[in-house]
Amino acid sequence: MLEWLAKLFGTTESSKDRAKERLRLVLVQDRAILSPGLLEALKEDMIAVLSKYMEIDEEALEVNLDSSDDSVALVANIPVRSVRRKI
Amino acid sequence: MGKSIVITSGKGGVGKTTTTANIGTGLAQIGRKVCLVDADIGLRNLDVVMGLENRIVYDLIDVVEGHCRVRSALIKDKRFDNLFLLPAAQTREKDAVNPEQMEKLITELKQEFDYVLVDCPAGIEQGFKNAIAGADLAIIVTTPEVSAVRDADRIIGLLEADELFEPQLIVNRIRPDMIRRGDMMTTDDMIDILAIKLLGIVPDDESIIVSTNKGEPAVLDKKSVSGQAFRNIVRRLEGASVPFLALEEENMVKRLMRFIGIGGKS
Amino acid sequence: MSKEACIIKGNKHGLSISIPREMDFAEVLSQLRTRLASAQEFFAGAAVYVSAADRDLEPEEKQQLAKTVEEFGLSITEPEADEAPAPAVESGKDEFKEDTLLLRRTIRSGQKIRYDGNVVVLGDVNPGAEIICSGDILVLGSLRGVAHAGCTGNVNASVFAFRLEPTQLRIANYISRSPDEKLPKPLGPELARVCDNVIQITAYQS
């Protein structure tokens, strides 16, 4: 009965929305996997930007695309050696 | 010099061959000189869909291997004098031909035809690489399913890697009733995700199966909804601006329900 | 019609038009037109070769011939030795071996059987399958694919099947295809052979 009411008032997610959401996630993963050079390029750009503000350990820098069931996240582990003094 | 178009999808069974047959026949119907090329070596089907299977003597492989001239392998359509089919070899495999040979063949055909439509096999291996060689434009066929759209996305990426940009999308087997219920992705959803130009939407239609049974493309059937969809696609390819079929309209009941505030999102 | 006639034959290279030596050229053209018109669809796309039986055609006559043929969407090709015929195993050989290949299975789409001799199939030959041999073909089942008997030029070769419903039949250099309109299913065994320059199918009587 509750389900029926929920349906009537449109609070349940329709299967097409599920489809679209799943598709969106799977494509983020696919596209990320498609270009192996992407993460490398991203790393370099990040280093360039971050270096303006702090000295980072480039060797230990880790960037990964982490996907769990319902989200994809860019996870970066950036060890900082020192923060530049503000001028 | 004509234009070569590859019809591809990645996923099998979404309607590439039917689409190729219908667009080709539609273009021939409005007077264009059209050559259909079946690039699905080893699993040929375009001849059957066109109803020309009993006329095949030579095939694509005979041409690229130099056993005969292109002209002797081309099969003229039953209905249109300006429509021809170059059949695939049934008893060979995809690697019997390479992209360079295909490109040469397509270029040769483009000299003589306004349109050269290449029916691509499913998959992303050798057969796909052969089919896209020499193509000026790619048409991607998909259905409103997660798996088919995902494969379409992969194909778009591969086409870009091969410098074939701006592919156009045909969404096949749309079920308006399911869209209304919210159980099928809409074309907007798919375009939103794939971010490419929409060329046409084709409703799921029993007459397609009937027309394939008979070997007569549905585009010739004035009464068929999908036939109308394909005629629209043909006109868009020719540069006309044709509105998309209104398949996703709400019915009266639903509209009324929404008006009085129940039924939620549509 | 006079005894002399312009003859169009299909062979492994395409269509060959033989023009008798004595015939009036206008008559040649008109006969050609009637013949091509009667089977336009079937001839479509084929290469056309002209053999003029010791008759030297004037360049103008050649041009007129080419024009007539073009009206039917065909064009005349100069005979070429290097254009190898796909369906034939080996050409120019009249005799054939009497060896027989026995296949105890159904030949499916995409399978191609080539054999120098006779072929007997204890099963069906499905659409999309091909049997090409220099001798006779016997199918103890349904023949729905392509069959080419006497592929090395033996016009006396025959094709037999319990149900003869081939996509295409070839015997020696003759080709015939199934008609586009639906035919009643054959009721019993049938035999195809060349008679009067065409492939004829008759009910098989033992």
Q: Is B7 exposed, middle or buried (0-12, 13-18, 19+ CB in 10 A)?
A: buried
| Total length of chain A | 87
**pLDDT of residue B191 exceeding 60:** yes
Q: What is the mean pLDDT of residues B58-72?
A: 94
State the average pLDDT for chain A: 77
Domains of chain B plus CATH, in order, are: 3-259 (3.40.50.300)
Query: What chain A residue is nearest to B262 in terms of C-alpha separation?
Result: A9
Residue C82's pLDDT is 42
Task: Describe the crossing of helices B187-194 and B146-161 by its angle, rounded to 10 degrees.
Answer: 30
Residue A6's pLDDT is 57
**Displacement of CA B35 from its chain's centroid (Å):** 14
Residue A2's pLDDT is 57
* Dihedrals phi, psi of B187, to nearest 5 degrees: -60, -35
Residues in C closer than 8 angstroms to B74, CB to CB, are: 45
Query: Is the same domain home to C68 and C162?
Result: no
Residue C34: CB atoms within 10 Å: 11
The verdict on a CB contact (< 8 Å) between A16 and B185 is yes
Give all chains having 3 or more CB-to-CB distances under 8 Å with chain C. Answer: B
Please tell me the distance in Å from C41's CA to the nearest CA on chain B: 7
Residue C92's pLDDT is 43
Query: What chain C residue is nearest to B61 in terms of C-alpha separation?
Result: C86
Residue C86's pLDDT is 42
Q: Report how far residue C172's alpha carbon sits from residue C94's, in angstroms, rounded to the nearest whole number.
A: 10
The answer to whether residue C33 is domain-embedded is: yes
Domain extent at residue C49: 7-76
**pLDDT of residue B32 exceeding 70:** yes
Q: What is the mean pLDDT of residues B203-208?
A: 93
Number of compact structural domains in chain C: 2
Of C75, C110, C127, the CB nearest to B42: C110
- Residues 177-196, chain B, touching A (beta carbon < 8 A): 179, 181-186, 189, 192-193
Digit-coded pLDDT (tens) for C67-112 = 777 777 677 766 544 443 444 444 444 455 579 999 999 999 989 9
Show the tokens assigned to B168.
């156009």
Residue A40 pLDDT class (50, 70, 90 cuts)? confident
Query: Is the same domain home to C136 and C59?
Result: no
Of C45, C75, C87, the CB nearest to B76: C45
> Does any CB of chain C come closer than 8 Å to the CB of residue B104?
no
Q: What is the mean pLDDT of residues B50-73?
A: 94
The answer to whether residue C153 is domain-embedded is: yes
Query: Is the same domain home to C58 and C14?
Result: yes
The verdict on a CB contact (< 8 Å) between C130 and B76 is no
Which long-range CB contacts under 8 A does C178-184 form with residues at least 24 apart?
Answer: C178/B54, C180/B51, C180/B54, C180/B78
ipTM of the complex, rounded to two decimals: 0.72
The pTM of the whole model exceeds 0.90: no
Digit-coded pLDDT (tens) for B113-149 = 999 999 999 999 999 999 999 999 999 999 999 999 9
**pLDDT of residue C3 exceeding 60:** no
State the average pLDDT for chain B: 91
Residue C84's pLDDT is 39
Of B44, B72, B78, the CB nearest to C46: B72
Q: What percent of chain C has pLDDT over 70?
A: 72
Query: Is the same domain home to C197 and C123?
Result: yes
> Does any CB of chain A come closer than 8 Å to the CB of residue B146?
yes
Sketch the domain layout of chain A as residue ranges. Answer: 2-83
**B151: enclosing H helix or E strand:** helix B146-161
Q: What percent of chain B has pLDDT over 90?
A: 83
The verdict on a CB contact (< 8 Å) between C178 and B54 is yes
Q: What percent of chain C has pLDDT over 90?
A: 44
Please tell me the distance in Å from A53's CA to the nearest CA on chain B: 36
The verdict on a CB contact (< 8 Å) between C86 and B42 is no
Q: How far, in Å, are A2, B41, B173, C100, C101 from residue B49 at the CA level?
A: 50, 16, 17, 36, 34
**pLDDT of residue A64 exceeding 80:** no
Cβ atoms of residues C48 and C67 within 8 Å: no
State the average pLDDT for chain C: 79
The answer to whether residue C88 is domain-embedded is: no
Laid out side by side, the sheet with C14-18 consists of C7-11, C14-18, C47-51, C75-76
Residue C182's pLDDT is 73
Query: What chain B residue is nearest to A10 in terms of C-alpha separation?
Result: B264
The answer to whether residue C1 is domain-embedded is: no
Q: Report how far residue C56's alpha carbon sits from residue C61's, in angstroms, rounded to the nearest whole number.
A: 10
The answer to whether residue C82 is domain-embedded is: no
Query: What chain B residue is nearest to C84 in terms of C-alpha separation?
Result: B67
Q: DSSP string of B156-223?
A: HHHHHHTT----EEEEEEE-HHHHHHT-S--HHHHHHHH--EEEEEEE--HHHHHHHHHT--GGG-TT
Q: What is the mean pLDDT of residues B16-26?
A: 97
The answer to whether residue C2 is domain-embedded is: no
Residue C89's pLDDT is 44
Q: Report how far residue C100's alpha carbon sits from residue B99's, in angstroms, rounded to the nearest whole number.
A: 40
Residue C93's pLDDT is 45
Buried b (16+ CB within 10 A) or exposed e, C118-152: bbebeebbbbbbbbbbbbbbbbebbbbbbbbbbbb
Q: Report how far residue B185's alpha carbon sits from residue B245's, in angstroms, rounded to the nearest whole number.
A: 16
Query: Is the same domain home to C63 and C104?
Result: no
Residue A86 pLDDT class (50, 70, 90 cuts)? low
